[in-house]
Amino acid sequence: MTKRFLTAEDVRRLGGPEILLEAETVVTPQAAEAAATAGVRLIGPAGAYAPPVPDRGPDAARAKASLPMLPEPSATDGVGLVVTVVGRNRPGVLAEITAALASHECDVADISQRNVGGYFHTVFTCAVPPGRDFGSIKDSLQCLGGEGDYVVRVMHESVFRFMHRV
Amino acid sequence: MPFTDHEILETVRMFELETFDIRTTTLGINLLDCADPDLESSCEKVYAKIVHHGRNLVEMAGGIEADLGIPIINKRVATTPMALVAAASGSKDLVPFARAMDAAAAEIGIDYIGGFTAYVHKGYSNADHALVESIPEALASTARVCSSVSLATTKAGINMDAVSHFSKVVLETARLTASEGGLGCAKLVCFSNPVEDNPFIAGAHIGIGEPETVLNVGVSGPGVVRSALERLGPEADLLAVAETIKRTAFKITRMGELVGREAARRMGTVFGIVDVSLAPTPAVGDSVADILELIGVERTGAPGTTAALALLTDAVKKGGAMASSSVGGLSGAFIPVSEDAGMIRAVEEGALSLAKLEAMTTVCSVGLDMVAVPGNTSQATLAGIIADEMAIGMVNQKTTAVRAIPVPGKGPGETHDWGGLLGTAIVQDPGRFGSEVFHSRGGRIPAPLQSYRN
């Protein structure tokens, strides 16, 4: 039978040793419990029931196709992440940051640094090798420094691209 | 072209120092297929469908935060107006639907879910009436459910019977949540000309013209606009002020566009809209009142405030419209009194009255929002406040709303702290004159001439 949902009431009404479900049917938790209690097996097209992939509706496929067609500000070649470091100046800061970047095989495309009084800010733009997980690079950089020393912030270059390029 | 230091530091400063964030990613879920003649089965379906679609919403938003390095504060769900879903059940008590929504929201790890909603601007269906009657109990017995009711539109006029009914519901909700300072009313709003793709709580729901599922994004950033105006200084003329706000709004909205595209892609659904609304929080600097004062009024509420707010709202919309083809929702500037430290200060110092606030709502993007009124406000007076606001929306073909909180046991000038994002309220004085006869007439205020556009 074609049903979008199987409820506990359906289970009680249909009964039997098993209920055959369509691929897209969602079984409510109460129905699953009622079936387990009554010893009714719920069978999907591929064996025991497993929740289907959510059907996001008829517009979703079109949306998926059209998203890549939306014009985007073009990517800046070779840049994947932007690292900004702000803090109190001391020897070794640059070395710590670049060592962390090197450990992730990030290629530094551009560096700029300014010193004002005892403080500095440094901006790195880096290329990330394909397949690298942005999140783990970010985490390992952002845990460098600390209070009273320096603070690192890592953002994806698309943030800057969307904000500053049309 | 590589980015300049100036560009990079400007963006980093927005996030680090100016409290800029993506305020919400809201997943809209159509629940019409959850209708069932059996109440229990219908509630089961509501729960199951919200959980089925929303299960990875929080994880998805967290993934985007991690991958882009920008904060996404809230993850929420908006549903089809529940009165439509519940109609088939024939039940007079629709609280079980609110409980199902609440349980589903808890299961997927979100703090609020919007959609305990009815459209009654021209009249009630049986289910609409049951829903409105169920609101006080629904809000008092759940933590996450938000409710909204459409009372007026430009096309239909104002349903004054519903305005009166809604006022009774607000007072009853305050009574049932008296131990928390009437907090239930913070989750309850009424609209004139509601938008059907609003991602912001408490009015979030998705209308019947919306897709099966849709991902909407709300961006905020009063702090960014404030800083830009601080840098501009008091010498610049108003054209320069408008241009500065517009450029800032453009940049803010671009972040919404980026996150909206990415979130829709990851959820495998439709990217609906970016709502670019300057939505204040009680955090220092995150204030719309501060912006108005930087534009040049001594305190929010002083003469000139409405004009300054008109400039602000319009510039935000224009900047947003250039930045995204998907700008929607309410887009503009919110003026929720208790949630904005600058607004509270203005009330405290006697600069901002309820009357001035009402004037400001003619040009802001929503309406009377998070306004505390005395706990003993009569139904007729509250209905009068709501009717005034509905009339502003109806005549000006704009969305207006009222989220008023009668604070039990408190009178004009007294304060109540709800804590967290809801902030501190000073109870406003609605005045000593009533509108009993107007209220008791009932009926409908007919649609204005400007509605006849066919």
Q: Could you report the per-residue pLDDT of B366-412, keeping only the tens digit for each?
A: 899 999 999 999 999 999 999 999 999 999 999 999 999 999 999 99
Whole-angstrom Cα distance, residue A76 to residue B291?
35
Whole-angstrom Cα distance, residue B3 to residue A158?
11
Nearest to A156 among B40, B41, B67 (CB): B67
Residues in chain B with CB shorter than 8 Å from the CB of A10 are 41
Residue B15 has pLDDT above 70, yes or no: yes
What pLDDT is recorded for position A17?
93
Tell if the CB–CB gap between A57 and B9 is shorter than 8 Å.
no
What pLDDT is recorded for position B290?
95
Tell if the CB–CB gap between A28 and B212 is shorter than 8 Å.
no
Residues in chain A with CB shorter than 8 Å from the CB of B39 are none
Both tokens of B40, joined, read: 């229990």
Residue A75 has pLDDT above 90, yes or no: no
Residue B445 has pLDDT above 70, yes or no: yes
Most confident of A133-137, B178-182, B334-338: B178-182
Residue B274 near residue B327, CB atoms below 8 Å: yes
Nearest residue of B to residue A139 by CA position? B66
**By percentage, how much of chain A surpasses pLDDT 70?**
96
Q: Summarize the confidence of residues A74-102 as an average pLDDT.
A: 86
What pLDDT is recorded for position A1?
55
Contacts of A63 (CB under 8 A, 6+ apart): B264, B269, B270, B271
Strand partners, A18: A41
Strand partners, B407: B374
Among the listed residues B414, B399, B446, the one whose alpha carbon sits nearest the alpha carbon of residue B182: B414
pLDDT band per the 50, 70, 90 thresholds, residue A71: confident
pLDDT band per the 50, 70, 90 thresholds, residue A2: low
Residues in chain B with CB shorter than 8 Å from the CB of A27 are 48
Residues in chain B with CB shorter than 8 Å from the CB of A31 are 44
Residue B426 near residue B389, CB atoms below 8 Å: no
Both tokens of A72, joined, read: 């985007």
Mean pLDDT for chain A overall: 89
Tell if the CB–CB gap between A57 and B261 is shorter than 8 Å.
no
Distances (CA, A) of B370 to A138, B188, B343, B401: 39, 10, 11, 10
How many Å lie between the alpha carbon of A150 and the closest alpha carbon of chain B? 14
Handedness of CA B77, B80, B82, B86 (dihedral sign): negative
Residues in chain A with CB shorter than 8 Å from the CB of B38 are 7, 9
Pairs of CB atoms within 8 A across A/B:
147
Residues in chain A with CB shorter than 8 Å from the CB of B265 are 64, 67
B103 upstream amide cis, omega within 30 of 0:
no
Residue A33 has pLDDT above 90, yes or no: yes
How many Å lie between the alpha carbon of A76 and the closest alpha carbon of chain B? 6
Model pTM greater than 0.90? Answer: yes
How many Å lie between the alpha carbon of A92 and the closest alpha carbon of chain B? 22
Residues in chain A with CB shorter than 8 Å from the CB of B52 are 26, 51, 54
Nearest to A135 among B67, B255, B264 (CB): B67
pLDDT tens-digit map of B209-263: 999 999 999 998 899 999 999 999 999 999 999 999 999 999 999 999 999 999 9
SS3 B444: strand
Most confident of A43-52, B29-38, B275-284: B29-38
What pLDDT is recorded for position B221?
87
pLDDT band per the 50, 70, 90 thresholds, residue B282: confident
Nearest residue of B to residue A50 by CA position? B52
How many Å lie between the alpha carbon of B33 and the closest alpha carbon of chain A? 8
Residue A78 has pLDDT above 80, yes or no: no
Q: Summarize the confidence of residues B28-46 as an average pLDDT.
A: 97
What pLDDT is recorded for position A77?
61
Complex ipTM value? 0.90
**By percentage, how much of chain B surpasses pLDDT 90?**
87
Tell if the CB–CB gap between B52 and A51 is shorter than 8 Å.
yes
